[in-house]
Structure 1
Amino acid sequence: MLDLMFSVSGDTIPADHGYFLHSALSELLPFHHDDKQRGLTGVHPISGTLCGGRKLAITDRSRLIIRVARDRVADYLELCEKRLEIGDSSILVGVPSSRSLVPAAALWSRLVTIKGFTSPPEFLDAAQRQIADLGIEGKARLLFRKGVSSKEGKTDNLAKSPFVKRTLNIKGREVVGFSLVVDELTADESLHLQIRGLGGRRSMGCGIFLPAL
Structure 2
Amino acid sequence: MFWQEAEQEKQPQVPDDVVDVLFALQCKSLPVDHAHALSQAILQAVPWLADEDAAAVHTIHVAGSQNGWERPAHDSSERLLPSRRTKLGVRVPRYRVDNLKTALEGRTLRVADAEVALGVGKERPLSAETTLFARYIVAEADEDEDRFLRRIATELAPRGIKVRKALCGKTQPLATPEGTLLTRSLMLADLTLEESFELQQHGIGEHQTMGCGIFLPHKGIEAAGKATG
Structure 1's consecutive aligned runs of 4 or more residues displaced over 3 angstroms after TM superposition are: 114-118
Which amino acid in the other structure matches residue 3 of structure 1? D
1:17 to 11, 17, 34: 34
1:182 pairs with 2:188? yes
Aligned match of 2:77: 53
Q: Counterparts of 1:23 and 1:89 in 2: how far apart (Å)?
A: 13
Gaps of 5+ in 1: 144-162
1:38 to 40, 52, 70: 52
Q: Counterparts of 2:21 and 2:162 in 1: how far apart (Å)?
A: 28
Instruction: Provide the aligned C-alpha RMSD in A.
Output: 1.7
Q: Counterparts of 1:117 and 1:83 in 2: how far apart (Å)?
A: 39
Which amino acid in the other structure matches residue 55 of structure 2? T
Which amino acid in the other structure matches residue 204 of structure 1? M
In the superposition, the TM-score normalised over structure 1's length comes to 0.83
Q: Within 5 A, what are the aligned runs for 1:101-116?
A: 101-115=126-140
Gaps of 5+ in 2: 1-17, 64-70, 220-229
In the superposition, the TM-score normalised over structure 2's length comes to 0.78
Q: CA deviation at 1:116?
A: 5.2
Count residues in correspondence: 191
Percent sequence identity over matched residues? Answer: 28
Q: Secondary structure at the match of 2:133?
A: strand
Q: Is the 8 A contact 1:140 1:180 kept in 2?
A: no
1:27 pairs with 2:44? yes
Q: Deviations over 1:5-44 (max 9, x none)?
A: 0000011111111110110011112223x3xx22210111
CA distance 1:113–1:54, shift in 2 (3 Å): farther
Aligned match of 2:222: none
Q: Counterparts of 1:142 and 1:172 in 2: how far apart (Å)?
A: 29
Deviates more, 1:172-181 or 1:19-28: 172-181
CA distance 1:87–1:118, shift in 2 (3 Å): farther
- Which has the higher Rg, Structure 1 or Structure 2? 2
